[in-house]
Amino acid sequence: MKHNIVTFVTLTALVLSSVIFWETGFVEFVLIGIGVIYLACTAYGSSKIEANYFINSIHIGKSKGVALTFDDGPDPKTTPAILAVLKKFDVTATFFVIGKKAELYPDLLRQMDAEGHTIANHSYSHSYGIGFFSTKRLSDDIARCNEVIAAILGKTPILFRPPFGVTNPRYAAALKKNGMISVGWSLRSLDTQAKNKYQVIEKVISNIKRRDIVLLHDHLPVTADALEDIIEHCRNKRVLLEPLSKVINKDPYVKI
Ligand SMILES: [Zn+2]
């Protein structure tokens, strides 16, 4: 974790600067400057899961294939359309589901599983305040999502994606306690910001490369609309779409 190194370097710099600049008139400015840099590093690290600042996440595959991943579902309006496209092209994907939505739409999880897709954990609450949860509350939230999935499918996920891609030191302890692995992404489709499907298609097909983990969202109509064109492009370019667990070479569920 880079956070521990940055904290150590910052504390060392504070001590050394205090000694070196103590008798000068600008010691306060030096110490405040170090503090500001530290806070900037922390803010950047918590907002960029790719930085592996607080926790180590998997961001890129090991095999040549590309994994499609969908967050924030299941959604009764859009997930069925996405499942239909995946079935049409015989592509399997991974769904990082929100526990409280999975509880409402268990049949969608059963359909995902029956059609060969992987179900992973995206927290139970997906709360906007999850970044401020205590370690215990965060761990319980993650565990509750696993319990919902296990009650529906009889399988417990190992793969977890932090909501909003935001991390902090408490995630490390919460994931360790739940025996889970954090998975980020290497290619954001930016579907949450897209005004039409063409923006999603363009963002994905102009950037996609081997070993990518693509971040999409199955609760968005624009993603459902874009998916067929994205898969067709991959087929034409001979980009192999494979399950995430194969691309990163990790078991998706706890072995019974
Ligand atoms: Zn999310």
Indicate if the pLDDT at residue 38 is higher than 80.
Answer: no
Whether residue 217 is predicted with pLDDT greater than 80 in this model: the reply is yes
Query: Does residue 142 belong to any structural domain of this protein?
Result: yes
On whether both 141 and 17 belong to a single domain, the answer is: no
* pTM greater than the 0.85 cutoff: yes
Kindly report, residue by residue over 170-212, the tens digit of the pLDDT: 999 999 999 999 999 999 999 999 999 999 999 999 999 999 9
User: Does residue 208 belong to any structural domain of this protein?
Assistant: yes
Catalytic residues: 71, 217
Residues 76 and 28 in one domain: no
pLDDT exceeds cutoff 90 at 29 = no
How many structural domains is the chain composed of? Answer: 2
Q: How far is the CA of 70 from the centre of ligand 1 (A)?
A: 9
CATH code assigned at 61: 3.20.20.370
Give the domain range for residue 225: 57-248
- 84 and 114 share one domain: yes
Same domain membership, residue 33 and residue 114: no
Whether the per-residue pLDDT at 146 is higher than 90: the answer is: yes
Residue 238 has pLDDT above 90, yes or no: yes
Do residue 39 and residue 139 come from a single domain?
no
Residues 6+ apart with CB under 8 A from 44: 51, 53
Residues 23 and 76 in one domain: no
Give me ligand 1 centre to Cα 174, in Å: 18
Give tens-digit pLDDT for 62-113.
988 999 999 999 999 999 999 999 999 999 999 999 999 999 999 999 999 9
DSSP string, 159-220: EE--GGG---HHHHHHHHHHT-EEE--SEE--TTT-SSHHHHHHHHHTT--TT-EEEEETT-
Predicted confidence at residue 56, as pLDDT, reads 84
Residues 73 and 163 in one domain: yes
**How many angstroms separate the alpha carbon of residue 216 from the centre of ligand 1?**
10
Q: Clarify whether residues 121 and 27 are in a common domain.
A: no
Q: Which residue has the higher pLDDT, 20 or 182?
A: 182
For the chain, give the percent of residues with pLDDT over 70.
Answer: 98
Distance in Å, CA 161 to ligand 1 centroid: 8
Q: Within this chain, do residues 135 and 224 fall inside the same structural domain, yes or no?
A: yes
Are residue 10 and residue 63 in the same domain, yes or no?
no
- 54 pLDDT above the threshold of 80: no
User: Is residue 33 located within the same domain as residue 63?
Assistant: no
pLDDT of 1 reads 60
